Amino acid sequence: MTLTRSDLWSLEEYAGRRQEFRAQVIAHKKRRNVALGPHATLYFEDQLTMKYQVQEMLRVERIFEAAEIEEELASYNPLIPDGCNWKATFMIEYGDVEERKVALATMGGIEQTVWVRVGDEGEKIFAITNEDMERTRDEKAAAVHFMRFELNDSDIASLKAGTSLFMGIDHGSLPGSYEVSADQRAALIEDFA
């Protein structure tokens, strides 16, 4: 379900609601972030996280003109899942700038190796990545990638029935497979309502 201007608050109204809304979104996001090792995280987006992003952009940029608000909505609406997929921001995170620079230089194509799998025996569903623009150049990866995972009806039904969920990376720089916690899995299943 995409956002429209009627879903948003005016700058003045948002100023009054911001602290409470921000706390709500932070709590909501905790269940929607899946660490894929110490340096990579999938931040799963939904309508609430995108409403927060849009409201913050409008606030920071002092945007109140209808056409400019529509531009922001057009930028962020594609990151809202549509009922048969998950959409996530994949971030490669290193605290030290130089360490990150060196690591990213060895991670070309990493975004194409990120996957989800329903159950122990299910097939890996690899991410469809960076549909907005290419983010890997030569052998160097960007620190941020936008991803979409398309699940079929059978996988969605299995998840709703309680089947376990795994996520991982098959790239040599940050390989790993991780079982998603029950709390995170429950939060992500809400995207298939």
Q: What is the CATH number of the domain that holds 155?
A: 2.60.40
DSSP state for residue 170 in the 8-state scheme = -
Do residues 101 and 21 both lie within one domain?
Answer: no
Task: Enter the pTM of the model.
Answer: 0.90
Do residues 185 and 136 both lie within one domain?
Answer: yes
Helix (H), strand (E) at residue 183: helix 182-189
pLDDT, one tens digit per residue, over 99-119 is 999 999 999 999 999 999 999
Do residues 121 and 190 both lie within one domain?
Answer: yes
Domain count, the chain: 2
Do residues 25 and 40 both lie within one domain?
Answer: no
Do residues 109 and 119 both lie within one domain?
Answer: yes
Do residues 7 and 89 both lie within one domain?
Answer: no
Helices (H), 4-118: 11-30, 47-61, 66-76, 97-104
State the residue range of the domain holding 109: 32-45+81-193
What percent of the chain stands above pLDDT 90? 90
- Tokens representing 35 are 């660490």
Do residues 96 and 123 both lie within one domain?
Answer: yes
Do residues 91 and 70 both lie within one domain?
Answer: no
Three-state SS sequence of 108-125: CCHHHHEEEEECCCCCCE
pLDDT at 18: 97
